[in-house]
Amino acid sequence: MTASHKDYPTELALFVPDITDVSTIKRSEAFLEHGFRLTVFGFRRQRYNRDYRPAYPFVPLGSTSDGRYLQRALALAAALVRLGRHRDTFRRASVFYARNIDQLLLALAARALGGSGARIVYEVLDIQPAFVARGFAGRAIRFVERLCLRRVALLVLSSPGFLRHFYRPVQAYDKPWFLLENKLPPSILACGSRGAALSEPAATPRFGYRWVVGYHGLIRGADTLDLIARLARRLRGQVLFRFRGILTTVDRRRFNDLLGSHPNIVYDGDYVNPRDLARIYGEIDFAWALDLENARENSRWLLPCRFYEAGFFGVPCLAARGFEIGELVEAHDVGWTFAAPFEDEMVDFLKRVTPAQHAERRQRLLALPQSRFVAGEDIEALCGLIDAGRHPVEAAAAPETVYG
């Protein structure tokens, strides 16, 4: 149910690292739907949706790039100058909502510029390597974040692993927090029919291969690509690996060499999320959910978007055993997990798994409630928590409570 404007704060200042990012758009639309008057302050990452312009008020703060921390620091300094022109907006804001540490610093500066005492909500998307690095730089980043956390009223996390492995033991965070998983937006219900997936068995084999494994979204990690290359070589003629999305921390020349060397690895280009999800998940048998880029920390702790996308359309995930995503897959028994070093176990699995075993996991996925994969009550609960009137954040949730 959508709340009326009188129920929620009239002004919410949202600070984001990329105004074109799908999750940013999803979060912005959810806040608007629940009655917030929104102004988005954000950068562009020049990865995809480059021509996208939000329908809601937004203030461009410049461009940044993944992994280029010096460039990001300079962009933040320039953004501070731009923020000075929006003191009136900051003075009116009831809530400052920041997505990642860069934006949290800007939100704190914006609140000071507006002379405001409004609450700060901090959403964490990933625990980047710099946050867990040893040495002076890592300690400095953790120290800065720890200082900022003292001024945060609510911490929003996409995985309980972030709290369990980092924010409690490392950052000593003991204030309210909220679990907001990377679920699909409600708009998926207009873009893809789960009913068709429920009534129609998966068509196998596809494209002349026994199985098709899809890796969709942000394509990242040399170790992940190396594993897929080894699997493709050993499963040539049996398993097709289909990539679709954006290359992030992957060298494009190396990726192209991979495509040229393995006829059973293909790249289908970019796609529009969520519009194209029904079609691309309708063309695969398994969703690749082994993120090995930062396998000791972030990749081990996160819950990736593709679990929710694939699950909604009844596509089982292949995940790493002992990772947060692997434990979720095992808890619902809706996919398969593998232990490091992965290769032999995965080759054996993809050779022996039967269509009947695949269909069983698929039906178990489709039997789960739609709310397991699509945001709804969780985002409404978050809006209730950050409501300045009826639900003061400081008293709304005990640190032990997980929502969503």
Q: In this structure, is residue 401 part of a structural domain?
A: no
Residues 246 and 107 in one domain: no
Read off the pLDDT of each residue in 349-359 and give the average, rounded to a whole number: 96
d(CA 209, CA 211): 5
What pLDDT digit, counting tens, does each position of 91-131 carry?
999 999 999 998 999 999 999 999 999 999 999 989 989 89
Q: What is the pLDDT of residue 301?
A: 97
| Residue 345 near residue 334, CB atoms below 8 Å | no
Select from 87, 104, 85 the least CA-distant residue to 96: 104
d(CA 371, CA 377): 8
Q: What is the pLDDT of residue 81?
A: 84
Which one has a higher pLDDT value, 112 or 401?
112
Residues 204 and 129 in one domain: no
Q: What is the pLDDT of residue 166?
A: 97
pLDDT at 45 over 90: no
Q: What is the pLDDT of residue 398?
A: 35
Read off the pLDDT of each residue in 239-264 and give the average, rounded to a whole number: 93
Residues 209 and 316 in one domain: yes
Residues 301 and 363 in one domain: yes
What pLDDT digit, counting tens, does each position of 257-301 carry?
999 999 999 999 988 888 889 999 999 999 999 999 989 999 999
Whether a cis peptide bond, with omega within 30° of 0, leads into 205 is yes
Q: In this structure, is residue 81 part of a structural domain?
A: yes
Q: What is the pLDDT of residue 387?
A: 75
| Residue 57 near residue 51, CB atoms below 8 Å | no
Which one has a higher pLDDT value, 385 or 319?
319
Q: In this structure, is residue 147 part of a structural domain?
A: yes
Summary mean pLDDT of the chain: 86
pLDDT at 1 over 70: no
pLDDT at 77 over 90: no
Residues 380 and 337 in one domain: no
Q: In this structure, is residue 100 part of a structural domain?
A: yes
d(CA 274, CA 162): 26
Longest Cα separation, the chain: 65
Q: In this structure, is residue 187 part of a structural domain?
A: no
Residue 120 tokens, joined: 């700060």
Residues 200 and 270 in one domain: yes
pLDDT at 75 over 80: no
Read off the pLDDT of each residue in 323-328 and give the average, rounded to a whole number: 97
Report the SS3 class of residue 272. Answer: coil
What pLDDT digit, counting tens, does each position of 355-399 carry?
999 999 999 999 999 999 999 889 989 988 887 543 333 333 333
pTM (2 decimals)?
0.87
Residues 32 and 165 in one domain: yes
Left, alpha or beta for 384 (phi > 0: left; psi -120 to 50: alpha)?
Answer: alpha
Lowest mean pLDDT among 136-150, 306-320, 385-399: 385-399
Q: What is the pLDDT of residue 394?
A: 38
Select from 333, 365, 328, 336 the least CA-distant residue to 352: 336
Q: What is the pLDDT of residue 46?
A: 59
Q: Output the domain CATH number for residue 342.
A: 3.40.50.2000
What pLDDT digit, counting tens, does each position of 167-226 carry?
999 999 999 999 999 999 888 887 656 655 555 555 667 778 999 999 999 898 999 999
Q: In this structure, is residue 403 part of a structural domain?
A: no
Left, alpha or beta for 46 (phi > 0: left; psi -120 to 50: alpha)?
Answer: left
Q: In this structure, is residue 78 part of a structural domain?
A: yes
pLDDT at 68 over 70: no
Residue type, position 320, single letter: A
Residues 156 and 254 in one domain: no
Task: Tell me which long-range contacts 319-324 makes (C-beta under 8 A, separation of at least 24).
Answer: 319/289, 319/290, 320/289, 320/290, 320/291, 320/292, 320/295, 323/299, 324/159, 324/160, 324/161, 324/300
Residues 315 and 350 in one domain: yes
d(CA 42, CA 78): 12
Read off the pLDDT of each residue in 138-161 and give the average, rounded to a whole number: 96
Residue 213, Cβ neighbours under 10 Å: how many? 24
Could you list the residue range(s) of the whole structural domain that residue 386 is in?
Answer: 5-181+375-396
pLDDT at 308 over 90: yes
pLDDT at 26 over 90: no
What is the pLDDT confidence band of residue 402, given thresholds at 50, 70 and 90?
A: very low
| Residue 223 near residue 293, CB atoms below 8 Å | yes
pLDDT at 319 over 50: yes
Q: What is the pLDDT of residue 50?
A: 59
Q: What is the pLDDT of residue 203?
A: 60
Residues 6+ apart with CB under 8 A from 120: 95, 96, 97, 98, 104, 107, 108, 111, 151, 152, 153
Report the range out of 59-68, 77-86, 268-277, 343-352 with the highest average pLDDT: 343-352
Residues 167 and 103 in one domain: yes
pLDDT at 6 over 90: no
Q: In this structure, is residue 177 part of a structural domain?
A: yes
Q: What is the pLDDT of residue 64?
A: 67
What total number of domains does the chain contain?
2
How long is the chain?
A: 404
Residues 270 and 301 in one domain: yes
Q: What is the pLDDT of residue 198?
A: 53
| Residue 132 near residue 166, CB atoms below 8 Å | yes
Residues 382 and 362 in one domain: no
d(CA 30, CA 147): 29
| Residue 323 near residue 294, CB atoms below 8 Å | no
